[in-house]
Structure 1
Amino acid sequence: MPTTSYNRVPVIFGSVLVNYAGRIAERSVLSALGWEAGTPIDIEPALPDVLLVTSSPDSAYAIARNGQLPIPAPIRRAARLRIGHRVLLAAHPDQHRLIIVCQNAFDILIADIRTRIDGGDQR
């Protein structure tokens, strides 16, 4: 089988609800990145309703003591991310980054896929 970019760059997926404190508690994904408590991180909007998280020594944010990833309220508001929303996580360990696809973006993606499957017909 030919080598693809997917074969070369492993992606670790996870899905989790944003907890009551605005944190993401998906340890298998975060540990795949090697991010432990206290790891400094940057969180920024990458696309509408999509966040990019990278480790950065100069960041004002960090992985919490309990190993959870806190998403500050201003960033949650900008991404239309609410407590209790489900997010899709895609960790790229080789690139030391995490992509967070918020529920609104995921809903749009699924609606588009459904439209393509249905040929534009609602069933």
Structure 2
Amino acid sequence: MAAIDVSGRIADRTIICTLGWAPGTRLHIRECSGVIVVRVDRQGVFTVTGQGRLHLPVAVRHWCGLSAGDRMLLAASPADGLLVVHPPAALDAMVMAVHADALGGGQA
């Protein structure tokens, strides 16, 4: 779990280190089904900042309803050079779907 700061950066750099992404690593960032998918891409227009942080573009933050201080679940696959960011709304939807299934269609 990590928070997003007022500039749109993921505050925790541990995940970037785990992925082996150095400052200047080129990335492709997109929203897909409510989550943010970040991949290493030599042609990517986004980069890891000089301080080793991931900056999420304002358009992606807007699509996912992210605001400063929001906490997100980060899921990384270092072997694939892939990070999936689960914003609060995506986590809520996943939990609701599991609960609806476990409770027989949402009926208690």
The structure that has the greater radius of gyration is: 1
Between Structure 1 and Structure 2, the one with more strand by share is 1
Choose the corresponding residue for 1:86, options 71, 75, 92.
71
User: Is 1:111 aligned with 2:92?
Assistant: no
Partner of 1:112, secondary structure, is helix
Q: How does 1:48-59 map to 2 (within 5 A)?
A: 49-59=34-44
Kindly state the Cα deviation for residue 41 of structure 1 after the two structures are TM-superposed: 0.8
Deviation at 1:116, TM superposition (A): 4.3
Q: 2:96 aligns to what SS in structure 1?
A: helix
Partner of 2:52: 67
Number of positions where the alignment pairs a residue of Structure 1 with one of Structure 2: 106
Superposition CA RMSD, Å? 1.6
Aligned-residue offset at 1:27: 2.0
Tell me the amino acid that sits aligned with residue 18 of structure 2. Answer: A
Query: So what's the TM-score if we normalise by structure 2?
Result: 0.86
The answer on whether the counterparts of 1:22 and 1:70 sit within 8 Å (CA) in structure 2 is yes
Classify the secondary structure of the residue corresponding to 2:67.
Answer: coil
Shift of 1:89: 0.6
Contact 2:30/2:36 (CA < 8 Å) preserved in 1?
yes
Q: Deviations over 1:72-117 (max 9, x none)?
A: 1111112222222111110001111101111101012122334445
- Unpaired runs of 5+ residues, structure 1, are 1-14
Shift in Å, 1:33:
1.0
After TM superposition, the score normalised by the length of structure 1 is 0.77
